[in-house]
Amino acid sequence: MKLLSFRTDLGVSISDLKRNPMGAIDAANGSAAAVLNHNEPVAYLVPALAYEALMDMVDDLLLAETVRTRRNKNAPEIGVDWNAL
């Protein structure tokens, strides 16, 4: 699996994160922060609202892929009576 790298303007060491988690969150000022171990990013601290938005986008992309896959199959269309719904 290829690991993704994200751009962020703030890095916080694991030691600093353990010492003061809310300080790291406050320092990020609503943006993501890279959690560093020996100056290498090992995780990202992402605000809850941004994470939820990302998960919504992933859900939408997966649903779109399902739609494309089903649309490309040669399955017969099924009629729907909207009044019956």
Whether 33 and 21 have beta carbons less than 8 Å apart is answered as: no
- 52 pLDDT more than 90: yes
Q: Tokens 């962020």 map to which residue?
A: 8
Which domains does the chain carry?
11-73 (3.40.1620)
Q: How high is the pLDDT of residue 2?
A: 44
- 85 pLDDT more than 60: yes
* pTM beyond 0.75, yes or no: no
